[in-house]
Amino acid sequence: MVRLAHRLRSWPLHLFLLLCAAATIFPLVNILAMSLSSSRAIIAGEVTLLPVEFNVMAYERLFRDGQLLVALKNTVFITLIGTLLHMIATTPAAYSLAKRRLKGRAVFTFMVLFSMLFGTGLIPLFLLVKQLHLINTFWAIWLPGLVSAYNLFVMKSFFEGLPPELEESATIDGASDLTLFFRLTLPLSKAILAAISLFYAVALWNTYANALYFISRSELLPVTVKLYQMLQTPLDALIGGGDSSLYIQPEGLKAAAIIITVAPILAVYPFLQKHFVKGVLIGSVKG
């Protein structure tokens, strides 16, 4: 009876969460259905949750010349290597700032916080990237903002929440700082490492501004910029010798572009969800 009464009291919350989930999922399902529907159905407004007059012409148009495949390969490379570089830079910095014995800890923390509150602007950033000869290289995407102040503070809070007795006992046994970091702290930090890695991976996968500003060579563009360029010429969507029945509605192309962009992240997220939620909660609550 107690369990039944508890379920009856909690059903409004479950209903609210169900409505929130439906409101989140509906736009994505609608976009997917639109990308697989005919132009006539899209223009007539007949597409809701299921494709109408199923076809994959929008995807064929986007992948037809092979440029999008090159852009996808660039984006995968940017995301994988960039995430690794970001984590290599962020994790030791957060671990160091979490230790009270670090000399100048308050100064370094203030410097990171200052960079979080005040930006340099686009023109100084462009001049710096140009002087470093990073134009038309992937380093122009990786190096600016190599360490996210927000991610650094979340990870720092997590490290501060680890029991200090563990390090004290390891230090008594003769463990050095590197040993403490690699053999003790990192194995206990899988949750926060997965969460921050996902943050960086999503940001790099969706990178747009830096690629647009610093990369002009078509063979180096990521998928976001390449899709933007392709969608700027909707009249080029005529295929099949100008047959109007084969015209692809620009909304269909945009829907297919959205699915291509978000699908890889959606495929990876379920495998990291457990660590993602746990890492963010621990890193924020402990702080």
What does the pLDDT read at residue 280? 54
User: Phi/psi of residue 53, each to 5°?
Assistant: 55, 65
pLDDT at 265: 80
CA-nearest of 276, 79, 284, 81 to 193 is 276
What gap in Å lies between CA 284 and CA 262, rounded to an integer?
27
H helices present in 98-208, as ranges: 105-117, 122-131, 139-142, 149-160, 164-172, 177-179, 190-205
Flag residues of the chain having pLDDT under 50. 235-245, 283-287
The reported pLDDT for the residue numbered 166 is 82
Nearest to 51 by CA among 66, 40, 39, 35: 35
- What pLDDT, on a 0 to 100 scale, did the predictor assign at position 272? 67
Q: Fold for domain 58-285?
A: MetI-like fold (1.10.3720)
Identify which of 56, 72, 65, 61 has the alpha carbon closest to the alpha carbon of residue 224.
72
Give the separation between CA 129 and CA 137, rounded to whole angstroms: 10
Q: What is the DSSP string of 203-242?
A: HHHT--HHHHHH---GGG--HHHHHHHHHT-GGGG--STT
Q: Cα–Cα distance between 136 and 153 in angstroms, integer? A: 31
pLDDT at 279: 53
- Is residue 171 exposed (0-12), middle (13-18) or buried (19+ Cβ within 10 Å)? middle
Cα dihedral sign, 157-162-168-173: negative
Instruction: State the Cα–Cα distance between residues 179 and 181, nearest whole angstrom.
Output: 5
Domain ranges of the chain: 2-44, 58-285
